[in-house]
Amino acid sequence: MKNLSKFYINGQWVDPKGQDSHAVINPANEQKICDLPMGSEEDVNAAVAAAKAAFEDWSLSTPEYRLGLLERLLELYNAAYDEIAELMVTEMGTTLAFSKAAQAWVGTAHLEAAIDALKRHTWTEMRGTTQISHEPIGVCALITPWNWPMNQLVVKAAPCLAAGCTMVAKPSEFSPLSSIRFVELVHEAGFPPGVYNHITGFGHIAGEALSAHPDVDMVSITGSTRAGIAVAKTAAETVKRVAQELGGKSPNIILPDADLEKAVTEGVDACFINVGQACRSPSRMLVPHDRMQEAKDIAKAAAEKHAVGDPMTDVSLGPVVNEKQFRHIQGLIEQGIEEGATLVTGGLGLPEGLNAGYYVRPTVFGDVTNDMAIAQEEIFGPVLAIIGYEDEEDAIRIANDTVYGLSGYIQTPDMEKARAIARRLRVGSIWINNADWEATAPFGGYKQSGNGREHGEWGLHDYLEVKSIAGYA
């Protein structure tokens, strides 16, 4: 890729002004892919200035004009689909099969959802003699993580563009390749200069500069709760809008009447999706105390079916994204053992037969109590904690006993009971009996899992201001 060493500002690929760089490492083999430039405050200022200059014309463009550009971008994205999928394998270790089936697919899904929301959106309405109108909020900083490179970028960029906002996107330095390819597609689609700007940089430098910049009207961040808090504190000085999709420690409540074999097996598989690097991962499995041993046996068999290895081959799990994440996961596995949880399978060290790459053994802990670190901290790896409960009330209590509130899962054939429990879980999204994910359903969290909602029309509304003009009629 010819643009790895440049930033995209005001419709052109330009040389960075900062001198810092970051080595992008292939997590499957620990080999360096490239040295990526890290943006300075001067680079941020240039990108924001371009977005600000482009905002007036772009904000006044017609929805039909923006719709045409988004539809062209969707065509180009789908044409580059396989290439984008392969880039994500290289940069963050997701398996090729999963990248094609999910990692690249969500980019298509979010573009389609934004296009649909734009087509259906009502921009003005009358209340008596007062006109109520929706207008783009302004210049937006989009800060995205490494674990779902296209999902997290497109779910922000597509509605941002649809709303008539301009932007500066700062993807993670750990998975930048697919994001750079996406910028090339934006350019080819014909978006006006300055509407979409792209830099890479460290969070404490470029991210902080974006959050603090007086000409940035909104920051949308997906990342850790720690990063979200830092952005919110910095952004508060200029009273800008902050949308946050942050961490999670999602409970998976398996009720006594569920098919335990099916529910536990599917729960293990769901926890290990993307090698466990998913904020909505059902990493806490709640089962009746008297079925703990049975659940452990089923989970052990399910986990040990997950082959780990080179993500370009026919395996279900590749590596985690980098050495820092590998060590974080190893530390929590060790802590789980020290705190007295039963190690059912997996554990410390590389999987058998692998001596390079950031591979984690698929791990299941049983007999976990909810006060243990592995039950409270977001591990972000293929590590499942099975927790016992006394009765339905105890399960709900345990499920809500966390600082997070992103997602929840309920397994039971009794739909009335499932719906009643769903109303009591303090989370933003719930999946009953492993229902399918919908790109048009709102996604976001309660408590320290963030604020705001993404996907479909909810994502579009995040980038809009509301104006009332009395006496309009």
Active site residues: 245, 279
Residue 150 C-alpha from the chain's centroid? 9
Is residue 161 a contact partner of residue 66, using CB atoms and an 8 Å limit? Answer: yes
Length of the chain: 473
Residue 234 sits at φ, ψ, to 5 deg, of -70, -40
- How far is residue 59's CA from residue 162's CA, in Å, rounded to a whole number? 10
Would you call 180 helix, strand, or coil by DSSP?
helix
Would you call 462 helix, strand, or coil by DSSP?
helix
256-291 burial, b at 16+ Cβ within 10 Å, e below that, comes to eebebeebbbbbbbbbbbbbbbbbbbbbbbbbbeeb
Would you call 197 helix, strand, or coil by DSSP?
strand
- How far is residue 194's CA from residue 357's CA, in Å, rounded to a whole number? 39
Q: How many CA atoms lie within 13 A of 350 on its CB side?
A: 14
The most distant pair of C-alpha atoms in the chain lies apart, rounded to whole Å, by 74
Strands 251-254 and 363-368: unpaired
- How far is residue 425's CA from residue 5's CA, in Å, rounded to a whole number? 46
